[in-house]
Chain A
Amino acid sequence: MDNTDELKFQDFEEVSNLLSFDPNAPTVAVSDSLASLSGEEDVKLDLNEDEEGLENSKLLGENPTGGFWTFDYYQSFFNVETAQVMDRLKGSVMPIPGRNFVKYYLRNKPDLYGPFWICVTLVFSVAISGNLSTFLSQFGDQTYHYRPQFHRVTIAAIVIFMYASLVPLCAWGFLTWRRGPEGHMGCYTFLETVCVYGYSLFIFIPTSLLWIIPLEWLRWLLILVSTVVSGSVLVFTFLPVVRDHTKVTAATTLLTILVLHSLLAIGCKMYFFHTAVHMATPATTTLPMMTTQVTQAH
Protein backbone atom coordinates (compact mmCIF):
# COMPACT_ATOMS: atom_id res chain seq x y z
CA MET A 1 0.00 0.00 0.00
CA ASP A 2 2.70 2.42 0.95
CA ASN A 3 4.59 1.42 -2.11
CA THR A 4 1.59 1.96 -4.31
CA ASP A 5 0.91 5.30 -2.67
CA GLU A 6 4.44 6.36 -3.20
CA LEU A 7 4.29 5.19 -6.75
CA LYS A 8 1.01 6.86 -7.56
CA PHE A 9 0.95 10.17 -5.73
CA GLN A 10 4.55 10.86 -4.96
CA ASP A 11 4.58 14.03 -7.06
CA PHE A 12 1.33 15.42 -5.89
CA GLU A 13 1.79 15.06 -2.15
CA GLU A 14 3.55 18.36 -1.65
CA VAL A 15 0.95 20.27 -3.54
CA SER A 16 -1.94 18.58 -1.83
CA ASN A 17 -0.25 19.22 1.53
CA LEU A 18 0.01 22.89 0.75
CA LEU A 19 -3.58 23.06 -0.35
CA SER A 20 -4.89 21.09 2.56
CA PHE A 21 -2.97 23.45 4.85
CA ASP A 22 -5.22 26.26 3.67
CA PRO A 23 -8.18 25.02 1.71
CA ASN A 24 -9.20 28.57 0.73
CA ALA A 25 -6.03 28.70 -1.22
CA PRO A 26 -5.21 32.40 -1.04
CA THR A 27 -2.23 31.67 -3.21
CA VAL A 28 -4.56 30.60 -5.96
CA ALA A 29 -6.65 33.73 -5.53
CA VAL A 30 -3.60 35.94 -5.66
CA SER A 31 -2.31 34.16 -8.65
CA ASP A 32 -5.76 34.39 -10.16
CA SER A 33 -5.95 38.12 -9.61
CA LEU A 34 -2.42 38.55 -10.85
CA ALA A 35 -3.28 36.47 -13.84
CA SER A 36 -6.41 38.50 -14.45
CA LEU A 37 -4.49 41.75 -14.14
CA SER A 38 -1.77 40.68 -16.51
CA GLY A 39 -4.41 39.19 -18.73
CA GLU A 40 -6.24 42.48 -18.92
CA GLU A 41 -3.09 44.37 -19.64
CA ASP A 42 -2.20 41.86 -22.26
CA VAL A 43 -5.63 42.19 -23.73
CA LYS A 44 -5.35 45.96 -23.82
CA LEU A 45 -1.99 45.77 -25.51
CA ASP A 46 -3.39 43.30 -27.99
CA LEU A 47 -6.26 45.62 -28.71
CA ASN A 48 -3.92 48.46 -29.35
CA GLU A 49 -1.84 46.39 -31.66
CA ASP A 50 -4.93 45.17 -33.41
CA GLU A 51 -6.25 48.67 -33.85
CA GLU A 52 -2.91 49.84 -35.14
CA GLY A 53 -2.80 46.89 -37.46
CA LEU A 54 -6.27 47.72 -38.77
CA GLU A 55 -5.35 51.32 -39.34
CA ASN A 56 -2.17 50.33 -41.06
CA SER A 57 -3.96 47.91 -43.28
CA LYS A 58 -6.63 50.47 -44.14
CA LEU A 59 -3.97 52.98 -45.12
CA LEU A 60 -1.97 50.44 -47.02
CA GLY A 61 -5.03 48.83 -48.49
CA GLU A 62 -4.42 45.22 -47.59
CA ASN A 63 -6.60 42.95 -45.54
CA PRO A 64 -4.78 39.64 -45.45
CA THR A 65 -6.43 37.12 -43.21
CA GLY A 66 -3.65 34.75 -42.32
CA GLY A 67 -0.08 33.94 -43.10
CA PHE A 68 1.18 33.86 -46.64
CA TRP A 69 1.23 30.06 -46.55
CA THR A 70 -2.54 29.78 -46.17
CA PHE A 71 -5.03 29.59 -49.01
CA ASP A 72 -7.16 32.37 -47.48
CA TYR A 73 -4.33 34.86 -47.86
CA TYR A 74 -4.39 34.49 -51.61
CA GLN A 75 -8.15 34.29 -51.72
CA SER A 76 -8.30 37.84 -50.41
CA PHE A 77 -6.61 38.99 -53.62
CA PHE A 78 -9.33 37.51 -55.79
CA ASN A 79 -12.19 39.16 -53.99
CA VAL A 80 -13.57 40.95 -57.03
CA GLU A 81 -16.73 40.82 -59.06
CA THR A 82 -17.24 40.99 -62.79
CA ALA A 83 -18.54 44.56 -62.63
CA GLN A 84 -15.48 45.73 -60.70
CA VAL A 85 -13.06 44.14 -63.15
CA MET A 86 -14.93 45.73 -66.07
CA ASP A 87 -14.75 49.11 -64.33
CA ARG A 88 -11.02 48.81 -63.82
CA LEU A 89 -10.48 47.80 -67.43
CA LYS A 90 -12.44 50.83 -68.58
CA GLY A 91 -10.43 53.06 -66.30
CA SER A 92 -7.18 51.76 -67.73
CA VAL A 93 -8.06 52.77 -71.29
CA MET A 94 -9.54 56.15 -70.45
CA PRO A 95 -7.09 58.06 -68.29
CA ILE A 96 -8.52 61.29 -66.95
CA PRO A 97 -6.02 63.79 -65.52
CA GLY A 98 -7.68 64.16 -62.17
CA ARG A 99 -8.27 60.48 -61.52
CA ASN A 100 -5.69 58.42 -59.78
CA PHE A 101 -6.20 54.80 -60.83
CA VAL A 102 -5.31 53.43 -57.45
CA LYS A 103 -7.45 55.75 -55.40
CA TYR A 104 -10.42 55.92 -57.74
CA TYR A 105 -10.75 52.43 -59.10
CA LEU A 106 -8.89 50.17 -56.75
CA ARG A 107 -10.12 51.82 -53.56
CA ASN A 108 -7.91 49.73 -51.32
CA LYS A 109 -9.06 46.49 -52.86
CA PRO A 110 -6.33 45.51 -55.28
CA ASP A 111 -6.78 42.21 -57.01
CA LEU A 112 -4.47 39.79 -58.75
CA TYR A 113 -7.11 38.40 -61.13
CA GLY A 114 -6.89 41.33 -63.55
CA PRO A 115 -3.12 41.61 -63.92
CA PHE A 116 -2.60 37.85 -64.22
CA TRP A 117 -5.22 37.16 -66.87
CA ILE A 118 -4.40 40.33 -68.79
CA CYS A 119 -0.76 39.18 -68.99
CA VAL A 120 -1.78 35.67 -70.12
CA THR A 121 -4.12 37.06 -72.76
CA LEU A 122 -1.45 39.49 -73.93
CA VAL A 123 1.10 36.68 -74.30
CA PHE A 124 -1.20 34.66 -76.54
CA SER A 125 -2.54 37.65 -78.47
CA VAL A 126 0.97 38.89 -79.27
CA ALA A 127 2.19 35.44 -80.31
CA ILE A 128 -0.90 34.62 -82.38
CA SER A 129 -1.08 38.05 -84.03
CA GLY A 130 2.62 37.90 -84.83
CA ASN A 131 2.16 34.53 -86.44
CA LEU A 132 -0.83 35.78 -88.45
CA SER A 133 0.99 38.91 -89.60
CA THR A 134 3.97 36.87 -90.74
CA PHE A 135 1.62 34.61 -92.66
CA LEU A 136 -0.19 37.54 -94.27
CA SER A 137 3.03 39.26 -95.29
CA GLN A 138 4.13 36.13 -97.12
CA PHE A 139 0.74 35.40 -98.62
CA GLY A 140 1.66 35.76 -102.26
CA ASP A 141 4.99 34.02 -101.89
CA GLN A 142 4.87 30.51 -103.30
CA THR A 143 8.04 29.32 -101.58
CA TYR A 144 6.73 30.25 -98.18
CA HIS A 145 5.59 27.36 -96.07
CA TYR A 146 3.41 28.23 -93.10
CA ARG A 147 4.89 27.54 -89.73
CA PRO A 148 3.10 27.90 -86.38
CA GLN A 149 6.18 29.42 -84.68
CA PHE A 150 5.12 28.13 -81.33
CA HIS A 151 8.36 29.06 -79.59
CA ARG A 152 7.20 32.67 -79.70
CA VAL A 153 4.65 31.90 -77.01
CA THR A 154 7.43 30.92 -74.63
CA ILE A 155 9.43 34.05 -75.38
CA ALA A 156 6.41 36.33 -75.08
CA ALA A 157 5.46 34.73 -71.78
CA ILE A 158 8.91 35.23 -70.30
CA VAL A 159 9.16 38.85 -71.42
CA ILE A 160 5.69 39.95 -70.40
CA PHE A 161 5.59 38.23 -67.03
CA MET A 162 9.02 39.52 -66.12
CA TYR A 163 8.02 43.02 -67.07
CA ALA A 164 4.77 42.81 -65.11
CA SER A 165 6.49 41.60 -61.96
CA LEU A 166 9.99 43.10 -61.92
CA VAL A 167 9.20 46.65 -63.01
CA PRO A 168 6.51 47.16 -60.33
CA LEU A 169 8.94 45.69 -57.81
CA CYS A 170 11.60 48.22 -58.78
CA ALA A 171 9.13 51.08 -58.86
CA TRP A 172 7.66 50.17 -55.48
CA GLY A 173 11.08 49.65 -53.95
CA PHE A 174 12.37 52.95 -55.26
CA LEU A 175 9.34 54.92 -54.12
CA THR A 176 9.32 53.27 -50.70
CA TRP A 177 12.99 54.00 -50.23
CA ARG A 178 12.59 57.62 -51.26
CA ARG A 179 9.46 58.43 -49.29
CA GLY A 180 11.52 59.23 -46.22
CA PRO A 181 10.23 59.45 -42.66
CA GLU A 182 6.86 60.94 -43.47
CA GLY A 183 5.18 57.67 -42.73
CA HIS A 184 2.93 55.67 -44.92
CA MET A 185 1.06 58.51 -46.44
CA GLY A 186 0.77 58.46 -50.17
CA CYS A 187 2.84 55.40 -50.97
CA TYR A 188 1.21 52.41 -52.57
CA THR A 189 1.62 48.84 -51.51
CA PHE A 190 3.42 46.40 -53.76
CA LEU A 191 0.14 44.77 -54.69
CA GLU A 192 -1.38 48.05 -55.82
CA THR A 193 1.66 48.79 -57.97
CA VAL A 194 1.44 45.37 -59.62
CA CYS A 195 -2.27 45.96 -60.11
CA VAL A 196 -1.74 49.32 -61.83
CA TYR A 197 0.91 47.94 -64.13
CA GLY A 198 -1.17 44.89 -64.96
CA TYR A 199 -4.25 46.88 -65.86
CA SER A 200 -2.20 49.39 -67.83
CA LEU A 201 -1.07 46.56 -70.13
CA PHE A 202 -4.67 45.93 -71.16
CA ILE A 203 -4.59 48.47 -74.01
CA PHE A 204 -1.88 46.43 -75.72
CA ILE A 205 -4.25 43.51 -76.32
CA PRO A 206 -6.44 45.26 -78.93
CA THR A 207 -3.30 47.02 -80.20
CA SER A 208 -1.58 43.70 -80.87
CA LEU A 209 -4.65 42.46 -82.71
CA LEU A 210 -4.66 45.59 -84.86
CA TRP A 211 -0.95 45.13 -85.62
CA ILE A 212 -1.95 42.31 -87.97
CA ILE A 213 -2.83 44.97 -90.55
CA PRO A 214 0.36 45.19 -92.59
CA LEU A 215 0.68 48.98 -92.80
CA GLU A 216 3.89 50.29 -91.24
CA TRP A 217 2.62 53.80 -90.52
CA LEU A 218 -0.50 52.34 -88.86
CA ARG A 219 1.62 50.13 -86.63
CA TRP A 220 3.78 53.02 -85.46
CA LEU A 221 0.68 55.15 -84.92
CA LEU A 222 -0.83 52.38 -82.82
CA ILE A 223 2.33 52.11 -80.75
CA LEU A 224 2.22 55.85 -80.13
CA VAL A 225 -1.44 55.89 -79.13
CA SER A 226 -1.26 52.88 -76.86
CA THR A 227 1.96 53.99 -75.16
CA VAL A 228 0.49 57.43 -74.56
CA VAL A 229 -2.73 56.04 -73.09
CA SER A 230 -1.15 53.41 -70.90
CA GLY A 231 1.75 55.64 -69.95
CA SER A 232 -0.59 58.38 -68.85
CA VAL A 233 -2.47 55.96 -66.60
CA LEU A 234 0.83 55.23 -64.90
CA VAL A 235 1.89 58.87 -64.78
CA PHE A 236 -1.38 60.04 -63.25
CA THR A 237 -1.10 57.28 -60.69
CA PHE A 238 2.43 58.05 -59.63
CA LEU A 239 2.24 61.83 -59.87
CA PRO A 240 0.88 62.40 -56.34
CA VAL A 241 3.57 60.18 -54.91
CA VAL A 242 6.53 61.92 -56.53
CA ARG A 243 5.12 65.38 -55.96
CA ASP A 244 7.00 65.69 -52.66
CA HIS A 245 10.29 64.81 -54.22
CA THR A 246 12.57 67.29 -55.92
CA LYS A 247 11.59 68.24 -59.44
CA VAL A 248 14.54 66.46 -61.00
CA THR A 249 13.84 63.21 -59.18
CA ALA A 250 10.16 63.39 -60.00
CA ALA A 251 10.76 64.05 -63.65
CA THR A 252 13.36 61.28 -63.89
CA THR A 253 11.11 58.77 -62.19
CA LEU A 254 8.16 59.45 -64.46
CA LEU A 255 10.36 59.50 -67.52
CA THR A 256 11.89 56.14 -66.62
CA ILE A 257 8.45 54.61 -66.21
CA LEU A 258 7.41 55.92 -69.63
CA VAL A 259 10.60 54.81 -71.33
CA LEU A 260 10.36 51.28 -69.98
CA HIS A 261 6.76 51.06 -71.09
CA SER A 262 7.48 52.21 -74.59
CA LEU A 263 10.48 49.87 -74.80
CA LEU A 264 8.13 46.99 -74.11
CA ALA A 265 5.75 48.09 -76.83
CA ILE A 266 8.45 48.69 -79.41
CA GLY A 267 10.28 45.50 -78.51
CA CYS A 268 7.13 43.43 -78.95
CA LYS A 269 6.44 45.04 -82.29
CA MET A 270 9.97 44.59 -83.59
CA TYR A 271 10.34 40.98 -82.55
CA PHE A 272 6.94 39.51 -83.15
CA PHE A 273 5.93 41.50 -86.18
CA HIS A 274 8.79 41.07 -88.61
CA THR A 275 8.62 43.01 -91.81
CA ALA A 276 8.96 41.18 -95.11
CA VAL A 277 12.64 42.11 -95.36
CA HIS A 278 13.65 39.99 -92.38
CA MET A 279 11.70 36.93 -93.48
CA ALA A 280 13.12 36.97 -97.01
CA THR A 281 16.63 36.07 -95.88
CA PRO A 282 15.90 32.40 -95.01
CA ALA A 283 14.30 31.92 -98.45
CA THR A 284 17.33 33.33 -100.25
CA THR A 285 19.69 31.15 -98.26
CA THR A 286 17.75 27.96 -99.07
CA LEU A 287 17.98 28.61 -102.82
CA PRO A 288 21.78 28.27 -103.08
CA MET A 289 21.56 25.10 -100.99
CA MET A 290 19.05 23.62 -103.41
CA THR A 291 21.20 24.47 -106.42
CA THR A 292 24.26 22.89 -104.83
CA GLN A 293 22.27 19.71 -104.14
CA VAL A 294 21.14 19.59 -107.72
CA THR A 295 24.72 20.01 -108.95
CA GLN A 296 25.90 17.30 -106.55
CA ALA A 297 23.24 14.89 -107.76
CA HIS A 298 24.62 15.22 -111.25
Chain B
Amino acid sequence: VVLLHLKVTASGLPKLRAFLGLSDVSISEDIPVEGDISMPPTSSSQDDGFSTLDEPVKDTVLRDLKAVGNKFVHVLYPKKSKALLRDWDLWGPLLLCVTLALLLQGGSVDSKDDGGPQFAEVFVIIWFGSLIITLNSKLLGGTISFFQSLCVLGYCIMPLTVAMVVCRIVLLGGSGTVSFVVRLVVVCASFGWSTFASTAFLADSQPQNRKALVVYPVFLFYFVIGWMILTFAPAQ
Protein backbone atom coordinates (compact mmCIF):
# COMPACT_ATOMS: atom_id res chain seq x y z
CA VAL B 1 0.00 0.00 0.00
CA VAL B 2 1.48 3.30 -1.07
CA LEU B 3 0.25 6.45 0.54
CA LEU B 4 0.99 9.93 -0.70
CA HIS B 5 -0.26 12.70 1.47
CA LEU B 6 -0.51 16.25 0.09
CA LYS B 7 -1.23 19.08 2.42
CA VAL B 8 -1.14 22.70 1.37
CA THR B 9 -1.36 25.43 3.90
CA ALA B 10 -3.77 28.30 3.35
CA SER B 11 -0.94 30.77 2.78
CA GLY B 12 0.76 28.52 0.32
CA LEU B 13 -2.26 27.90 -1.83
CA PRO B 14 -2.09 31.08 -3.96
CA LYS B 15 1.60 30.49 -4.56
CA LEU B 16 0.90 26.96 -5.62
CA ARG B 17 -1.91 28.03 -7.91
CA ALA B 18 0.21 30.80 -9.42
CA PHE B 19 3.04 28.43 -9.99
CA LEU B 20 0.80 25.91 -11.64
CA GLY B 21 -0.58 28.60 -13.93
CA LEU B 22 -4.01 28.31 -12.45
CA SER B 23 -4.19 31.98 -11.56
CA ASP B 24 -7.08 32.67 -13.86
CA VAL B 25 -8.89 29.47 -13.04
CA SER B 26 -11.43 29.94 -10.35
CA ILE B 27 -10.96 27.51 -7.55
CA SER B 28 -12.85 27.83 -4.41
CA GLU B 29 -10.50 28.59 -1.59
CA ASP B 30 -12.55 26.44 0.68
CA ILE B 31 -11.64 23.14 -0.90
CA PRO B 32 -8.61 21.81 0.83
CA VAL B 33 -6.07 20.35 -1.52
CA GLU B 34 -5.50 17.25 0.37
CA GLY B 35 -5.78 13.66 -0.57
CA ASP B 36 -4.48 10.17 -0.44
CA ILE B 37 -3.03 8.21 -3.24
CA SER B 38 -3.19 4.62 -2.27
CA MET B 39 -2.82 1.47 -4.34
CA PRO B 40 -5.48 -1.19 -4.09
CA PRO B 41 -4.32 -4.27 -2.24
CA THR B 42 -2.71 -6.66 -4.69
CA SER B 43 -4.61 -9.86 -5.38
CA SER B 44 -3.32 -12.71 -3.35
CA SER B 45 -1.31 -15.39 -5.05
CA GLN B 46 -3.93 -17.99 -4.30
CA ASP B 47 -6.09 -18.89 -7.30
CA ASP B 48 -9.82 -19.37 -7.03
CA GLY B 49 -9.77 -19.19 -3.31
CA PHE B 50 -7.85 -22.46 -2.66
CA SER B 51 -4.13 -22.97 -2.38
CA THR B 52 -2.39 -25.66 -4.39
CA LEU B 53 0.66 -25.42 -2.21
CA ASP B 54 -0.62 -27.60 0.58
CA GLU B 55 -1.92 -30.55 -1.38
CA PRO B 56 0.08 -33.76 -1.57
CA VAL B 57 2.52 -34.10 -4.47
CA LYS B 58 0.63 -37.09 -5.81
CA ASP B 59 -2.39 -34.86 -6.47
CA THR B 60 -0.35 -32.29 -8.35
CA VAL B 61 1.34 -34.88 -10.53
CA LEU B 62 -1.89 -36.72 -11.22
CA ARG B 63 -3.64 -33.52 -12.18
CA ASP B 64 -0.95 -32.66 -14.70
CA LEU B 65 -0.93 -36.20 -16.04
CA LYS B 66 -4.69 -36.10 -16.46
CA ALA B 67 -4.41 -32.83 -18.40
CA VAL B 68 -1.77 -34.32 -20.68
CA GLY B 69 -3.83 -37.46 -21.21
CA ASN B 70 -6.90 -35.39 -21.95
CA LYS B 71 -5.03 -33.58 -24.69
CA PHE B 72 -3.83 -36.86 -26.19
CA VAL B 73 -7.47 -37.91 -26.49
CA HIS B 74 -8.27 -34.63 -28.20
CA VAL B 75 -5.56 -35.25 -30.76
CA LEU B 76 -6.91 -38.72 -31.43
CA TYR B 77 -10.33 -37.31 -32.19
CA PRO B 78 -9.57 -33.87 -33.62
CA LYS B 79 -12.82 -32.11 -33.14
CA LYS B 80 -12.81 -28.38 -32.82
CA SER B 81 -12.47 -28.23 -29.08
CA LYS B 82 -10.77 -25.52 -27.12
CA ALA B 83 -9.07 -27.72 -24.56
CA LEU B 84 -5.78 -27.93 -26.44
CA LEU B 85 -5.70 -24.22 -27.03
CA ARG B 86 -6.90 -22.87 -23.72
CA ASP B 87 -4.84 -24.93 -21.29
CA TRP B 88 -1.65 -25.35 -23.20
CA ASP B 89 1.25 -27.22 -21.72
CA LEU B 90 4.53 -28.44 -23.13
CA TRP B 91 4.88 -31.67 -21.13
CA GLY B 92 3.19 -33.73 -23.82
CA PRO B 93 5.35 -32.45 -26.68
CA LEU B 94 8.50 -33.02 -24.60
CA LEU B 95 7.45 -36.57 -23.80
CA LEU B 96 6.64 -37.32 -27.44
CA CYS B 97 9.83 -35.73 -28.74
CA VAL B 98 12.08 -37.65 -26.34
CA THR B 99 10.25 -40.92 -27.09
CA LEU B 100 10.55 -40.39 -30.83
CA ALA B 101 14.22 -39.41 -30.64
CA LEU B 102 15.03 -42.44 -28.47
CA LEU B 103 13.17 -44.80 -30.80
CA LEU B 104 15.08 -43.40 -33.78
CA GLN B 105 18.34 -44.41 -32.15
CA GLY B 106 19.81 -47.83 -32.42
CA GLY B 107 19.86 -47.64 -36.18
CA SER B 108 22.62 -48.77 -38.48
CA VAL B 109 25.78 -48.15 -36.53
CA ASP B 110 28.24 -49.37 -39.17
CA SER B 111 29.23 -45.92 -40.25
CA LYS B 112 28.54 -42.90 -38.15
CA ASP B 113 28.43 -40.57 -41.13
CA ASP B 114 25.85 -42.31 -43.21
CA GLY B 115 23.46 -43.19 -40.44
CA GLY B 116 20.17 -41.84 -39.40
CA PRO B 117 19.56 -38.70 -37.43
CA GLN B 118 21.26 -38.43 -34.09
CA PHE B 119 19.26 -37.74 -30.94
CA ALA B 120 20.22 -34.07 -31.00
CA GLU B 121 19.26 -33.74 -34.65
CA VAL B 122 15.77 -35.10 -34.03
CA PHE B 123 15.34 -32.85 -31.02
CA VAL B 124 16.50 -29.79 -32.95
CA ILE B 125 14.34 -30.56 -35.96
CA ILE B 126 11.20 -30.98 -33.87
CA TRP B 127 11.63 -28.00 -31.59
CA PHE B 128 13.27 -25.68 -34.08
CA GLY B 129 10.76 -26.68 -36.72
CA SER B 130 7.84 -25.97 -34.40
CA LEU B 131 9.38 -22.65 -33.51
CA ILE B 132 9.83 -21.63 -37.14
CA ILE B 133 6.28 -22.64 -38.02
CA THR B 134 4.90 -20.73 -35.05
CA LEU B 135 6.88 -17.64 -36.00
CA ASN B 136 5.69 -18.03 -39.56
CA SER B 137 2.05 -18.14 -38.56
CA LYS B 138 2.48 -15.22 -36.17
CA LEU B 139 4.19 -13.15 -38.85
CA LEU B 140 1.40 -13.92 -41.29
CA GLY B 141 -0.99 -12.39 -38.81
CA GLY B 142 -2.32 -15.37 -36.90
CA THR B 143 -4.37 -14.89 -33.77
CA ILE B 144 -3.10 -17.97 -31.97
CA SER B 145 -0.56 -17.34 -29.27
CA PHE B 146 3.05 -18.51 -29.36
CA PHE B 147 2.90 -21.29 -26.79
CA GLN B 148 -0.52 -22.47 -27.89
CA SER B 149 0.87 -23.07 -31.33
CA LEU B 150 3.92 -24.91 -29.96
CA CYS B 151 1.58 -27.02 -27.86
CA VAL B 152 -0.65 -27.97 -30.81
CA LEU B 153 2.26 -28.82 -33.10
CA GLY B 154 3.92 -30.90 -30.40
CA TYR B 155 0.81 -32.87 -29.46
CA CYS B 156 0.03 -33.64 -33.10
CA ILE B 157 3.31 -35.58 -33.37
CA MET B 158 1.57 -38.32 -31.42
CA PRO B 159 0.24 -40.29 -34.44
CA LEU B 160 3.76 -40.30 -35.88
CA THR B 161 5.21 -41.58 -32.60
CA VAL B 162 2.63 -44.38 -32.61
CA ALA B 163 3.70 -45.14 -36.20
CA MET B 164 7.32 -45.31 -35.08
CA VAL B 165 6.44 -47.87 -32.41
CA VAL B 166 4.52 -49.92 -34.99
CA CYS B 167 7.45 -49.68 -37.44
CA ARG B 168 9.94 -50.94 -34.90
CA ILE B 169 7.67 -53.87 -34.06
CA VAL B 170 7.27 -54.65 -37.79
CA LEU B 171 11.03 -54.42 -38.29
CA LEU B 172 11.54 -57.05 -35.59
CA GLY B 173 9.90 -59.48 -37.98
CA GLY B 174 12.26 -58.72 -40.85
CA SER B 175 13.06 -55.90 -43.23
CA GLY B 176 11.89 -57.17 -46.58
CA THR B 177 9.55 -55.69 -49.11
CA VAL B 178 6.40 -56.67 -47.23
CA SER B 179 7.52 -54.93 -44.08
CA PHE B 180 8.44 -51.89 -46.15
CA VAL B 181 4.99 -51.71 -47.69
CA VAL B 182 3.35 -52.09 -44.28
CA ARG B 183 5.57 -49.37 -42.83
CA LEU B 184 4.87 -47.11 -45.78
CA VAL B 185 1.13 -47.44 -45.33
CA VAL B 186 1.32 -46.87 -41.57
CA VAL B 187 3.59 -43.83 -41.89
CA CYS B 188 1.49 -42.28 -44.65
CA ALA B 189 -1.69 -42.74 -42.64
CA SER B 190 -0.21 -41.22 -39.49
CA PHE B 191 1.35 -38.34 -41.45
CA GLY B 192 -2.04 -37.53 -42.92
CA TRP B 193 -3.64 -37.78 -39.49
CA SER B 194 -1.08 -35.46 -37.89
CA THR B 195 -1.41 -32.85 -40.60
CA PHE B 196 -5.18 -33.00 -40.49
CA ALA B 197 -5.28 -32.74 -36.68
CA SER B 198 -2.95 -29.77 -36.49
CA THR B 199 -4.58 -27.85 -39.32
CA ALA B 200 -7.94 -28.35 -37.63
CA PHE B 201 -6.54 -26.27 -34.78
CA LEU B 202 -4.18 -23.90 -36.54
CA ALA B 203 -5.99 -23.00 -39.72
CA ASP B 204 -8.85 -21.36 -37.90
CA SER B 205 -6.64 -18.64 -36.57
CA GLN B 206 -5.71 -17.31 -40.00
CA PRO B 207 -7.64 -15.18 -42.46
CA GLN B 208 -9.06 -17.03 -45.41
CA ASN B 209 -6.62 -15.86 -48.03
CA ARG B 210 -3.56 -17.07 -46.12
CA LYS B 211 -4.63 -20.49 -44.94
CA ALA B 212 -2.54 -22.34 -47.53
CA LEU B 213 0.53 -20.30 -46.63
CA VAL B 214 0.25 -21.52 -43.04
CA VAL B 215 -0.71 -25.12 -43.79
CA TYR B 216 2.18 -25.80 -46.18
CA PRO B 217 5.00 -25.50 -43.58
CA VAL B 218 3.05 -27.80 -41.24
CA PHE B 219 2.75 -30.30 -44.09
CA LEU B 220 6.50 -30.07 -44.74
CA PHE B 221 7.30 -30.49 -41.03
CA TYR B 222 5.32 -33.68 -40.60
CA PHE B 223 6.55 -34.94 -43.97
CA VAL B 224 10.16 -34.66 -42.82
CA ILE B 225 9.38 -36.41 -39.53
CA GLY B 226 7.54 -39.13 -41.44
CA TRP B 227 10.52 -39.50 -43.75
CA MET B 228 12.86 -39.95 -40.75
CA ILE B 229 10.55 -42.66 -39.39
CA LEU B 230 10.18 -44.47 -42.71
CA THR B 231 13.90 -44.54 -43.49
CA PHE B 232 14.84 -45.92 -40.10
CA ALA B 233 17.10 -48.85 -40.85
CA PRO B 234 17.84 -51.17 -37.97
CA ALA B 235 21.34 -52.33 -37.18
CA GLN B 236 22.26 -55.63 -38.76
Q: Which residues of A contact B (CB under 8 A)?
A: 4-5, 8-9, 12-13, 15-16, 19-20, 23, 25, 28, 71, 74-75, 77-78, 80-83, 85, 113, 117, 120-121, 124, 128, 131, 145-151, 154
Contact = CB atoms under 8 A, between A and B. Distances in A.
Nearest to B139: A78
A117 B108 contact: no
Give chain B's interface residue range (CB within 8 Å of chain A): 35 or more
Contact of B116 (A5, A113, A145, A150): A150
18 contacts: A5-B11, A8-B9, A15-B19, A80-B213, A83-B209, A113-B136, A113-B139, A113-B140, A117-B136, A128-B227, A145-B108, A147-B111, A148-B107, A148-B233, A150-B117, A150-B228, A151-B114, A154-B121
A82 B213 contact: yes
Interface string B1-39: 000000001011011101101011000000000000000
B231 A4 contact: no
What 7 pairs across the A-B complex have the smallest Cβ distances?
A: A147-B114, A78-B139, A16-B15, A148-B231, A81-B209, A148-B116, A82-B212
Contact of B217 (A28, A117, A131): A117
Determine which residue in A71, A75, A82, A128 has the highest number of CB atoms from chain B within 10 A of its CB, and name it. Answer: A82
Given A75-B139, A121-B220, A147-B233, A20 B18 contact: yes
B18 A113 contact: no
A13 B15 CA distance: 7
B227 A23 contact: no
Contact of B16 (A12, A25, A77, A117): A12
B20 to A, nearest CB: 10
A150 B232 CA distance: 11
Contact of B216 (A12, A28, A117): A117
A273 to B, nearest CB: 15
